[in-house]
Each structure stands twice: as structure tokens, then as C-alpha cells.
Amino acid sequence: MNSDSDLQIAGDILEVPHLLQPAREHPATVAEFVGLARAIAADRSQWEHLVEYDATSRWYHRLKTGPGYEVWLLSWVPGQGSGMHGHGRSSGVLTVLEGELTEHTARGARALDEGAQRVFAPGYVHEVVNDSLQPAVSLHVYHPGLTEMPMHAAQCAAATADGVAEDVVTA
């Protein structure tokens, strides 16, 4: 008898299909959206051949959509930034695929190295910048799909973003 639990499973659990939850085709929870971003990041064949760099404006490409969500691929040459912005009613997962980005919020700046993930809720305001000397690539998952990206003046961001941030998830 296992001292940690009184539960023991006899036989083959796979023979009891009514106890197993079917695998979801699309993510529905924060953890599943983080997992989707990690899976795409790990499979470079899904995105590496699509990346372009544009010195005059930020480059982006919608990589995937699903019911209520979308996945975007962005590239950042040195010095490029997003400006201080929000995401309307969308939550998001930002994953750095290559290089390094810096996220600025009302609480300060945070370096995001390759593999770092940032999860945020609706109402979160930030600016993402490539402060390094090398290009960077990032993946962004939005749920629901991004319908607005309101820009904010830096001095207004402190009142808007304070208390809404989530933590960085590292790979």
C-alpha cells in the first residue's frame, strides 16, 4: 500500500476511456496558451523561415489562429520598440524566440532573454524594445484575438499599468 494515497489503479487505465479527458484541439487556459507558445518556440520549422527584418518599421506576421485566439510572430532590429501600449480586452503570452528584448512598465524595466515568457492580463500596459545590438524575434499569443492596441503616453502608463502585471515565466 502506498503511504501517500489510498488510491491504487488496477489494470490498464487506457481500457477505461470514459475516465480520460479527450485532448483539446485548441488551448483554453493560461497554462495551455503558455504551452502552445513553448511548443511553437521549440519547433523552429514553424516560424524560422518566415522571419523578416525591416529597418524602417516593425515586422509582424500572423502565424496561427484558433477559436478566440491568434498567434503573431514579430521581429525587432536593434533600437525598434512598440511604444507604450495596451491590448484592449486581450490577455497575452509574449515569448522571446531569439535575441533579447526589454520590457518597460510603470514598475521599471525587465530584460527578457531567449526563452523567457511574459504572461499578462487585459489592461496591462507596457513597451517592448530591442535595446541590444542584435536582432530579436518574439512570439505573441492573444486571447481573445487582438482587436485593439491603444497607445499610451509614458506618464499615463503608471496609473494604468500599476497592479495589473503578471510575472515572467522562464523556460
Binding residues: 85, 87, 126
Give the pairing type, strands 101-105 and 117-120: unpaired
State the binding site for Fe cation: 85, 87, 126
Phi and psi at residue 158, in whole multiples of 5°?
Answer: -60, -45
Q: Find out whether 59 and 130 touch, Cβ atoms under 8 Å.
A: no
Q: What's the CA gap between 155 and 141, in Å, rounded?
A: 27
Strand partners, 143: 91
Q: Do residues 146 and 70 touch, judged by C-beta distance below 8 A?
A: yes
List all residues 6 or more positions away from 12 whose beta carbon is below 8 Å from its beta carbon: none
